[in-house]
Structure 1
Amino acid sequence: MSFATAGVAAIATALLLSLAGCSNDPPNPNPRASQPLATVPVDLPRYMGRWYIIALIPYFAERDMVGSHAEWNLRADGKIDDSYYGHKKSFDAPEKHYQFLDTPVPGKDGGEWSVQLFWPIHVTQLTLYVDPDYRYTILGYPGKNLGWIFSREPDMSDEVYKSMLGRLDAMGYDTSRFRRVPQRPDQLGKPGFATPGEKD
């Protein structure tokens, strides 16, 4: 097993543990916690390209990553090449890259993907919100113990960020668990941003 393959396997294992609720997740205090998540229709060609990870519920595989983003590329067979990039703990660290393969689930209008993390391991990814101009999007999982806020740009205003958290709150997420991902060195250590080495 190559180093890159081992890295993907580690991410897959950590994500599966989180999805299974084996990561000591705190109880969700949101009164809408039991409300099922609903996907939104997605124009897949328009959805492709680079998305910066603005905030997330930290978990093992992404907790110490900074400057992270995803690149989605729609293939001729309808599947999606899903590339993850980020730096471990420091912007001076070499950029890490993990490759996944996503398959839009039939009948879900592009809003639900089956993500192959590491053969034969697949997980479900839900698109919970996309703004009309395809500048921002929210991704999640049915258990609400994982979630992400993405943006086309590495910066997001506090006003927009608060509106994204408001949407997540209405969906039943515990928004207090979200941490912003530093996309610039000057954001390291700022209140509300994830700190490399910090335990959630």
Structure 2
Amino acid sequence: MNPHAAPVRFTGMRQSAILTALSGSFLATMSLLGTGCAPLKPLATVPHVDVDRFMGDWYVQGHVPTGSEDDAYNAVESYARDGDSNKILTTYVFREGAFDADFETMEPTGFVENEETGATWGMRFIWPFRAEYLIAYLDDAYTETIVARRKRDYAWIMTREAQISDERFDELVGRLTGMGYDPMKVRRVPQRWPDAEHPVSKAGGDMARWTREQE
């Protein structure tokens, strides 16, 4: 174990679900290597991401969820640069199961693995493993994005706006479908605002950094 690696903080999070998902991904990869199965189908990222512009708060409008977030409400993911390095402080907060439920918080560390494009990241929940994190869609105004994976197992549709129309959501699901995902697996994340107690409401546009200052 790396004594200098800061572990991810889980607050009320079902950590066993994260461990199970990561273990499953590792075993699936080893199975492919052992049996000579076809490699994962490629998934194109956007050509370039201005990482500094990508920082800040993103409202999760829909996802192909991991087991730990399959009943998330008012989900928000936030990013902040960790100095001049390729490390990204990440905070993911949501209410578990209802708009008045307790908050769940995850604080993994992101790494920009392709600094030329800025679109290929690794997300570390447990040292030393990094989960694949590909910015597969990003509009020119940096108001909408889709994070996806070559395994087509998980994905996140996120916007800068807290709430979007049904029509816009359907269009974004269509983009995800075009990447090879099953639209029937996409869950729309309920979003209802204002939510005065939510950390994003208290942070003033930089939840990832704000949550760490409260520790």
Q: TM-score, normalised on structure 1?
A: 0.77
Please point out which of 50, 68, 80 is paired with 1:73.
80
Please point out which of 155, 162, 167 is paired with 1:159.
167
The 3 A distance-change label for structure 1 pair 116 and 35 is closer
Alignment of 1:48-197 (within 5 A): 48-76=55-83, 77-107=85-115, 109-184=117-192
The answer to whether the aligner puts 1:38 opposite 2:44 as a matched pair is: yes
Report SS of the residue matched to 1:69.
strand
8 Å CA contact retained: 2:72, 2:94:
yes
Matches of 1:166 and 1:6, distance apart in 2: 33
Q: CA deviation at 1:15?
A: 3.1
Report SS of the residue matched to 1:51.
strand
Counterpart of 2:21? 15
Structure 2: runs of 5 or more not aligned: 1-6, 29-39, 194-215
Counterpart amino acid of residue 161 in structure 1: F
Counterpart amino acid of residue 170 in structure 1: G
Report SS of the residue matched to 1:61.
helix
Counterpart amino acid of residue 166 in structure 1: G
Counterpart of 2:203? none
Structure 1: runs of 5 or more not aligned: 23-33, 186-200
Matches of 2:69 and 2:90, distance apart in 1: 16
Report SS of the residue matched to 2:94.
strand
8 Å CA contact retained: 2:121, 2:133:
yes
Q: CA deviation at 1:21?
A: 8.6
Greater than 6 Å deviation, 4+ residue runs: none
Report SS of the residue matched to 2:176.
helix
Matches of 1:119 and 1:17, distance apart in 2: 13
How many residues were matched structurally?
174
Counterpart of 1:198? none
The 3 A distance-change label for structure 1 pair 143 and 82 is same
Matches of 1:182 and 1:5, distance apart in 2: 21
Q: TM-score, normalised on structure 2?
A: 0.72
Counterpart of 1:25? none
Q: CA deviation at 1:112?
A: 0.8
Q: Deviations over 1:37-82 (max 9, x none)?
A: 1111211011000001100113311012211111100121231001
Identity of aligned residues (%): 30
Matches of 2:138 and 2:9, distance apart in 1: 35
- Larger radius of gyration, structure 1 or 2? 2
Counterpart amino acid of residue 86 in structure 2: G
